[in-house]
Structure 1
Amino acid sequence: MTRPGATAWLSLACALAMGAACCGKAWAQPAVVDDSLDPPQAGKALRDRDFGVGTRGFGLDRRVEMYQWRADRDAYTRVWNTAAIDSSHFAPGHANPKKLPLDNRRWWSDDATLEGKPIDLAVLQTLGQWRVFRPNFSRLPANLAASFQPEGDGLGSAENPLDPQIGDIRITWRELSLPPLEGKVELRGDRWVLSPEAAAQALSAERASTVVELPPGTDQRLLPWLLGAAAMLLVAALVWRRVRRRRG
């Protein structure tokens, strides 16, 4: 049987939770920003000097993949991977190179502006959108031109791209663009920074993308029940704590 005091506190906790949600929506209004902002400017070109690849975007990303063996239960498969796969415990005949011959690298614009004011790096990293582009390889150094050839949107080291061998490399590049920034940034001092709402949305998206890992053998269908039970226990603990404080 539930005590009247506990029932009252449970009702109060529910009401407070609903009120907090409503207040959160009321306070999480976007910063007031002029809706006639000029498009942001990326500044000077970014360049991957190793390959002579450049872009006028807000960021440049070099993605390096190596063809390697990967252990898959009782079998081995060959995959493209952006990091070296440790094969020290693999069966004979399945050795991978110990490291990639080239690093994955990323460059950010350090002089991007909006309305003549600098844009904070966090804006680029949070709101920027990456897209693959095919560079002009006319400035590819001679030593790399001897090792790589155009393959898809990038470069590859395989003699036959349809039949790559272990240790072959392929490289692609991406450039960063920015969406319209109205309502997503605010001018703080002399620098454009993320608005509170944009920062909160980015944090919510990051949390939503977090995968909950269960112990091996756990039925995935139990996940909603486990999460629900955990939430109920948390609410019950908070209510009981408040009841004890009031009695004390």
Structure 2
Amino acid sequence: MRFLRAAFALSLSCALAIGAAAFGQTDARADAGDEPMGLPQSGKGLRDRDFGVVSHQFGLDRQVEMYQWRASGDGYTQVWNAAPIDSRGFAPDRQNPPKLPIESRRWWAQDATLDGHPIDQSVLQALGTWRVFRPNFSRLPANLAASFQPEGDGLGSAENPLEPRVGDLRILWRELQLPPLEGKVELRDGRWRLSSSAAQAALSAASTANAVELPADQDRALLPWLLGGATVVVVVGLVWRRVRRRREAAR
């Protein structure tokens, strides 16, 4: 497994380095390498209209969980889960609702700006941090106010939060906050986009977070595929760089 990770890291680093040279160097000329001066602005507020929840940050996330039965060894346990647990085959008195009556949802700021220029959504997704916040529930619709009450930082449908029943819901909201973007974004084609270094860091973090453990006898078998994928990225980057140079020379 260590061999696979080392090979993957090497191939990914090579691909990113050459890709950055191919894409970043030419695109950076578009706006003379402008660096951000101010702080990012989120634009219009984001609204969860179902619950009257509003955020003035760069993203709004509604997380819904339902209390359900889960098979455990020779018996069953009750757990909070964000997705419906299929209870077909469970004992008759251990059945779950077939679906969550309220779904999780996510909203992204569509008009975020920095120094008067729009921020590409890839910047929000790569650099933003989700933080749980407690909304003001003064705009909670009457029909939902009859079913939900404040519970912790969110809402819950259980009559007694300490003794929830199967089918009860609990809901939390998170909002996306952005750090200062100096050194992490570049102005290209009139939009703030991830810099090469920030994109590489985001990809490295994603590959680490999503690492898949494989049997030891399979890691070396995958090496040719990893190197082949890196080669494709490199070739595409070089071809794109040549096309961009020809276009610039023709202007």
Q: Would the TM-score normalized by the shorter structure come out above 0.5?
A: yes
Q: Name the CA distance, whole Å, in 1 between partners of 2:200 and 2:34.
A: 17
Report Cα offsets for 1:77-135 as digits up to 9, x if no partner. 11111111110111221100000000100011000000000000111111110000000
Pair 1:118 & 2:111 matched = no
Q: Name the CA distance, whole Å, in 1 between partners of 2:80 and 2:118.
A: 38
Structure number with bigger Rg: 1
Determine the structure 1 residue equivalent to 2:129: 129
CA shift for structure 1 position 209: 1.6
Q: Name the CA distance, whole Å, in 2 between partners of 1:210 and 1:52.
A: 34
Determine the structure 2 residue equivalent to 1:7: none
Determine the structure 1 residue equivalent to 2:59: 59
Determine the structure 2 residue equivalent to 1:8: none
SS at match of 1:87: coil
Determine the structure 1 residue equivalent to 2:191: 191
Aligned residues: 207
CA shift for structure 1 position 208: 1.2
Which structure has more relative contact order (CA 8 Å, sep 6+)? It is: 2
Contact kept, 8 Å, 1:69 with 1:85, in 2: the verdict is yes
Report Cα offsets for 1:22-42 as digits up to 9, x if no partner. x949x77997653x6201000
SS at match of 2:94: coil
Q: Name the CA distance, whole Å, in 1 between partners of 2:190 and 2:211.
A: 38
Structure 1 segment 1-248 matched on structure 2, within 5 A: 24=17, 34=35, 37-214=37-214, 223=216, 227=219
Percent sequence identity is 64
SS at match of 1:130: strand
CA shift for structure 1 position 57: 0.4
One-letter amino acid matched to 2:69: W
Greater helix share, structure number: 2
TM-score (norm 2): 0.74
CA shift for structure 1 position 226: 6.5
CA shift for structure 1 position 74: 2.1
Q: Name the CA distance, whole Å, in 1 between partners of 2:191 and 2:165.
A: 49
SS at match of 2:62: strand
CA shift for structure 1 position 211: 3.6
Contact kept, 8 Å, 1:33 with 1:185, in 2: the verdict is no
CA shift for structure 1 position 198: 1.1
Q: Name the CA distance, whole Å, in 2 between partners of 1:208 and 1:230.
A: 20
One-letter amino acid matched to 1:147: S
Report Cα offsets for 1:143-174 as digits up to 9, x if no partner. 10000000000000000000000000000100
Q: Which runs of 5+ in 1 are unaligned?
A: 1-16, 215-221, 239-248
TM-align CA RMSD: 2.9
